[in-house]
Structure 1
Amino acid sequence: MILIVTIIFSLFYLFQINKMTFALCQSREIPEEKQPKIYRTVNILVTILILSLYLEVLLKV
């Protein structure tokens, strides 16, 4: 059950973070060539954050 809730939360959260990253790239006028690197970095960091959250919740239950 915890895994399903975490996956749903993660997908929603990752979608929202990508929307904010897109807005950042647009407002700062970041060149198209640098944008994939920014998205990749943000997505990796958010994935690490979500995994650590899942492990923390899993170990406390």
Structure 2
Amino acid sequence: MAGAVRDTREVWASYFLLQDRARVLALLADLLKQVSDETARIDVAAFGHASSGELI
């Protein structure tokens, strides 16, 4: 799963509508609070960064 997220995060992130990105980022932030595996946390954070796109 982690590998799939790493390989496709840029593609997936580009499909989020601008109005949905804030919600996705909030969900990812909540997920980071629950995940203890460091590799998973890094991948979720990277996906969040890729998803933030135009919000930065």
TM-score tier, shorter chain, comes to 0.3 to 0.5
TM-score if structure 2 supplies the norm length? 0.37
TM-score if structure 1 supplies the norm length? 0.35
